[in-house]
Structure 1
Amino acid sequence: MDNRQFNLTTDPWIKVITVNDNQEQMVSLIDLFTHAQDYRQLAGDMRSQNLAILRLLLAILTTVYSRFDATGEAYSWLKTSGASPQDLEVDDDEFTKDDSTEDLLETWQQLNQAGHFTQSVIRYLEFFADRFDFFGARPFYQVTTADYDALVPKNKAIAAGKGKVAVKQLNRRISESNHTPAIFAPKTGAAKNDISLDELIRWIITYQNFTGVTDKTKIVTEESFSNAAGWLYRLNPVFAQGETLFTTLMLNLVLSDSRNDYACPKPVWEYATVSDYIAERKREILPDNLPEIYTAWSRILHIEWDENQRPTIFSAGIPMFSSDSAFIEPMTTWRFDKKTNAYRPAVKGLRSLGIAMWRNFGAYINVHRADDRQEPELVVWLRTLKEQNLLAHNHPLVLNSVALISDGNATSQAPAVEVGDDMQMQADVLFDSERRDYWPARIEEAIDFTQTVGDDYYHFAKDIAQIRNVDGRLFAGQMSAKFYERLNTPFKMWLEGLTSQDDRDEKIMAWKTQLKMLTVAAIDEELQASSPRDMRGVSGKTGPLNIFTAKSHLMYNLRLHLDL
């Protein structure tokens, strides 16, 4: 029997960067919430791991501050439902949507002004400390042998030795199955299965969020189901990045849902038993509260330890609720599916790797304020903070995106690449109150003509491909990707420099001028690399086609579409 002890509330396992000296430090949950203002950011093994842990931290904060205000008192519209101070439910005689929203926003404001979290979070973690014990009677984010065997088919019980997932597969920096070796991994050979305890905890949390579908073991249910990918793996994540870990947590602490009434928080560890949680999951009903979404399991995991303290991990799939129109989830962009007449998370794929966030600006901001465009609830929340004067007008808002993208194989969905991006704007720009010269609409206008110029450059690249007798789509696609890489930083800096006091036309013209310069520089770079064949050219559909006539066509389109 394993007699080790490790409690996530008091033992260090979360990697952070300190504000004072930019050094990496390992902290416990209580340390993190006590000193969040002293840490710059999470510093885990991958950005997607940081996002998974951020959501776990937000689940704790949302649970606490959905029950208790900044003074530690339970809200007046809640009533005790049990012996525990955490046993609270809505008092129908006292509850109103307006009152609850006002109280929750006031709590957020007081926390933000104080610059630190309150003792309510520490008391909560101390109360539920046994649920955060990694080796306890109910081990954190795991199930016991008895629970596992009771949920899976008899021939898949622990003693049968089936349904194992290797550490090297759990580790999303490797993601190696026993059949397909990961060649470009940070570890080699047997070392791929070596892992420290703090690292294992971080990867288990990450794996629950970013699970592929290679495993075949499933729990027993009356109706058959397919093993689903992890919830976060099925989103196009977006979150706000602050200057410190405290401000990052506060900006993402969505206490009031614009679409739904208040719902009592129910993170996975607050279910009385694992069986209760699995019974709820078998219903495949979308949770009505954020902590339950943030801590949703995709698998039941059981860990056996050998005499050398090495883990053997058993995994079994559980039913997952649908993501269609799951607007309770705040951290994703949406796309409308005409076939199902529902909104679905706009998941990134390998084909969209090179498309920066700013090019999909309209997916993050409802530019034209139309009802048929769903903004991420996180953006709605940030707008609420701005409208309630809880954010300064010139507060820099950084929208960040981190996506772990699968290989596109329906039978594996193994991680292929991780991409991250961001865009920064002042709150007054992002949530402009001007009606006649609305900044988001002008930004969308700038993006539209920028992408038109991008199309013009793509056609220039296809002309060059024709001259050189190479694959037009491949060559033009590569040149187009390089062109947008050239634009990404300047456009993001242009966005960052906008203010609500700006003359919109002047700022748009400034970007047009810079865009023309960047395009001409890209053309000249291609001209410098030209060969005699490029200059000699070929016979095109409308006459001679060489690098000079191709440039002439592009320059004509540039003048036409930029209207300088």
Structure 2
Amino acid sequence: MDGKEPEMEFNLLDEPWIIVKTKTNETKTWSILELFEHAHEAQELAGELPTQDIAIMRLLLAIMHGAFVTDEIETADDAIDLWTSMWEEKQFRFDEIKAYLEPYHDRFWLFHPTQPFYQSAHIKQNMDAYKAAKGKKVSSEIKWKTVARLVGDLFQSDNAPRLFPVRTGEAQNCLTYAEAARWLLHLNGFDDDSAKMPTPKGVGYLGQLGLIYAKGRNLFETLMLNFILVDERNEVFADNEENSKAYWEKPVCETIEREIPQPRAQKDLLTMQSRRIFLHREQGMVTGYLLTMGDYFAKDASLLNEVMTVWKRDDTRDFAPRRHQLESQMWRDLSSLLGMKIKNDDKARQPGIIHWLQLLEDAAEAIRFDVELFHICVTGASYDLKGAGWQIVDYVQDDLTINASLLAKMNEIWIQEIIDVLEKTKKAINSFGYFVTDIAEGSGDSMQKSNQIQKRELAKFAQEDGYYHLDQSFRRWLLCINPEKDNLEERTVEWLHIAKQTLLQLAQEELDRCSETAIVGRVKDGTVQNAIKSFREFQYRIKKALG
């Protein structure tokens, strides 16, 4: 735009921009081609945020779908055969990836006169045309957004800078090309829906999901485990069809605000353009950007082709993506995580990645699948309503390790029993919350009907404290379960005992530090209510819940 820089600069296939952690715990920066050539030598992606890593991972997965899924992959057996042959080689077929990407080399220039990567070269003209059509004032001046708003770990606005930013001084005013490339993908996936022209139809696509993925013993394994080739019906995704194309395989779309049908092809969905963006560079650095609305799905779109999200029941769509809760450990929602039904609930939907891992585990002996533990990870952005729209306030990241055989079809009864045990644990923790509010009432704290909000908040705080004290115990207990060696009843009794003893100990501590007023108690509805009585009632409730 300014004519001062080379027309084409910084090709993402050749230039280093993806941060990885090596097996020796060093960090290195690789290009796309370097990463595929050496993925087996790295532990994991190691960018600035987990959400940035998942945005980059989805780009890499789209390349894999484009490179390896041919029209010969027609059935689930074909897909498993392809996947198995790649897995057994323990590193990527680099020549095939390089050959696939070579014709699209020009589509990976971060700066290009007509087709910059993941950007819209004519965004200013398109925005002006949109404004003119709406009768809005059009200015010849370009108002660049500062890069401080591009960087996801700052999450600040031009008018309200963050008090303690990660980047300070001049580092807030410019980005290297490598940094800008990483945050470009992040912005496309997780941008908020605050005021823009036009007003976005929600946050970025990835921000709408409860993202879930599997982590392997190295980066090659991580990418392979998430290289999902079939849907929940075991039908092959249409990545080889003529109209199924990744971002770089089709012409750049300059249309602002475009509703699109959800693609069945994974490489299409993995490279969805939620926003139209254009980076501004000066003297070899990115100093600003332009941003507007991009592609979006209809409000009633099912999104069922998405394989990297957990699900919830939805009245209009049957199922909808379920965002992760910032304060909630992932094991607390194991039923949604694994797509298993809770008693008295006849519907559940399994995340695509879990279904895929289950397929691999069921075929483990035949395909020599040698993974003993599955590391299941979740990530996502947490948004809060501020002013006219939703803005990012924090990020979610958690992981859980389970024995791989737990996902085998023959062991579904184990998963169901674990979920039932968690429901019992939830009831016991709720009882702990009620006990703490009873203590507060006995102490004379204001807990009248006019203060029910305070009472609920106190109960919630106590319940979160209960989950906190059970967190590491549950993770260790789940990790140690091996359905091929363990007894189901013995294992469930073991957890119920751990949960009961932990919560009783917490309740005893509450009792020990309560006031003398609470011990003496007071008359409520004609009966004496005191801390001792509340403790005994809690003991009864927890034994009823946990046995």
Q: In structure 2, do the counterparts of structure 1 residues 536 and 393 end up closer, same or farther at CA, with 3 Å as the change threshold?
A: farther
The match for 2:335 among 337, 348, 362 is 362
Any idea what SS the aligned residue of 2:202 has? coil
1:123 is aligned, of 99, 121, 128, to: 99
Counterpart check, 1:142 vs 2:119: yes
**Structure 2 partner of 1:441:** 416
Deviation, 1:490, is 0.8
1:33 and 2:32 matched:
no
Q: Is the 8 A contact 2:174 2:288 kept in 1?
A: no
- The answer to whether structure 1 residue 269 and structure 2 residue 248 are counterparts is yes
Q: Secondary structure at the match of 1:523?
A: helix
d(CA) in 1 for partners of 2:377 and 2:32? Answer: 24
Aligned with 1:505 (options 486, 489, 500)? 489
What per-residue deviation string (whole Å, max 9, x for no partner) do you get for residues 89-117 of structure 1? xxxxxxxx43xx32221111011111000
Distance 2:29 2:334 in 1: 36
Distance change in 2, residues 1:391/1:180 (3 Å): farther
Alpha-carbon distance in structure 2 between the residues aligned to 1:480 and 1:268: 46
The structural deviation recorded for 1:151 is: 6.1
How does 1:321-360 map onto structure 2 within 5 Å? 321-322=297-298, 324-338=301-315, 340-348=316-324, 352-360=325-333
Q: CA deviation at 1:195?
A: 2.2
Q: Residue 534 of structure 2 aligns with which residue?
A: 550
Using the TM superposition, give the Cα deviation of residue 415 of structure 1 relative to its aligned residue in structure 2, in angstroms.
0.5
Answering whether residue 362 of structure 2 is matched by residue 406 of structure 1, we say no
Give the equivalent residue in structure 2 for 1:492: 475
One-letter amino acid matched to 1:344: A
What is the TM-score of this pair, normalised by structure 2?
Answer: 0.88
Q: Indicate the SS of the match to 1:195.
A: coil
Structure 1 letter corresponding to 2:335: G
Deviation (angstroms), 1:363: 1.0
Bigger Cα displacement from structure 2, 470-479 vs 449-458: 470-479
Deviation at 1:166, TM superposition (A): 2.4
1:480–1:139 distance in 2 versus 1, CA, 3 Å: same
Q: 1:455 aligns with which of 430, 433, 436?
A: 430
Q: Which moved more, 1:125-134 or 1:531-540?
A: 531-540
The aligned runs of 1:74-223 (5 Å cut-off) are 75-76=71-72, 97-98=74-75, 101-118=76-93, 119-137=95-113, 138-145=115-122, 148-150=124-126, 152-153=128-129, 160-161=140-141, 164-188=144-168, 191-218=171-198
The CA deviation at 1:122 is 2.0
Please identify, of 390-399 and 312-321, the stretch whose mean Cα deviation from structure 2 is larger: 390-399
SS of the aligned residue for 1:274 comes to: coil
Distance in structure 2 (CA, Å) of the matches to 1:476 and 1:305: 52
Query: Which residue of 2 is the match for residue 5 of structure 1?
Result: 9
Per-residue deviation, 1:303: 2.4
Distance 2:236 2:57 in 1: 24
| Alpha-carbon distance change, 308 to 424 in structure 1, aligned in 2, over 3 angstroms | closer
Distance in structure 2 (CA, Å) of the matches to 1:498 and 1:160: 65
Equivalent of residue 299 in structure 1, options 266, 275, 278: 275
- Residue 269 of structure 1 and its aligned partner are, at CA, apart by 1.3
Q: Which one-letter code corresponds to 1:40 in the other structure?
A: Q
1:213 shift after superposition: 1.3
Partner residue in 1 for 2:450: none
Q: 1:355 to 1:65 in 2, by over 3 A?
A: same
Quote the offset at 1:199 in angstroms.
Answer: 1.2
Bigger mean CA deviation after superposition, 469-478 or 450-459: 469-478
* Contact preservation (8 Å) 2:405, 2:483: yes
CA distance in 2 between partners of 1:202 and 1:500 (Å): 41
Structure 2 counterpart of 1:54, from 57, 60, 66: 57
How far apart are residue 164 of structure 1 and its match? 3.9
Equivalent residue, structure 2, for 1:479: 462
Q: Which amino acid aligns with 1:485?
A: Y
Structure 2 CA distance for aligned equivalents of residues 122 and 27 of structure 1? 15
Q: Deviations over 1:150-177 (max 9, x none)?
A: 4652658997335643211111111211
Distance in 2 separating the partners of 1:211 and 1:454: 36
CA distance in 2, matches of 1:6, 1:142: 14
SS at match of 2:296: coil
Q: Give the unaligned 5+ runs of structure 2.
A: 447-453
In structure 2, the CA distance between the partners of 1:534 and 1:193, relative to structure 1 (3 Å rule), is farther
Identify unmatched segments of 5+ residues in structure 1: 68-74, 78-96, 219-224
Are the equivalent residues in 2 in contact too, given 1:461–1:480 (CA < 8 A)? no
What SS does the aligned partner of 1:414 have?
strand
Q: What is the DSSP-based 3-state SS (H/G/I as helix, E as strand, rest coil) of the residue aligned with 1:285?
A: coil
Identity of aligned residues (%): 25
Aligned partner of 1:417 in structure 2 is: 394
TM-score by length of 1: 0.85
- Bigger drift between 457-466 and 313-322 goes to 313-322
1:298·1:320 contact (CA, 8 Å) conserved in 2? yes
Query: How far does residue 244 in structure 1 lie from its aligned partner after superposition?
Result: 1.0
Structure 2 distance, partners of 1:7, 1:308, is 14
Cα distance change of structure 1 residues 393 and 273 upon mapping to structure 2, 3 Å threshold? closer
How many positions carry a matched residue from both structures? 518
Counterpart residue identity of residue 6, structure 1: F
> How many Å separate the matches in 2 of 1:512 and 1:391?
36
Aligned counterpart for 1:242 among listed residues 216, 229, 232 = 216
The DSSP-based 3-state class of the residue aligned with 2:29 is strand
For residues 238 and 542 of structure 1, do their structure 2 counterparts lie closer, same or farther at Cα, with a shift above 3 Å needed? farther
The Cα RMSD (Å) is 2.6
CA distance in 2, matches of 1:363, 1:410: 32
Say if 2:336 and 2:350, in contact at 8 Å, map to a contact too: yes
**Partner AA of 2:10 in structure 1:** F
Shift of residue 126, structure 1, vs aligned partner: 2.9
Distance (whole Å) between structure 2 residues aligned to residue 510 and residue 178 of structure 1: 54
Cα offsets for 1:407-460 (capped at 9, x unmatched)? 13483211111121222212221234057xx11111111111111111111111
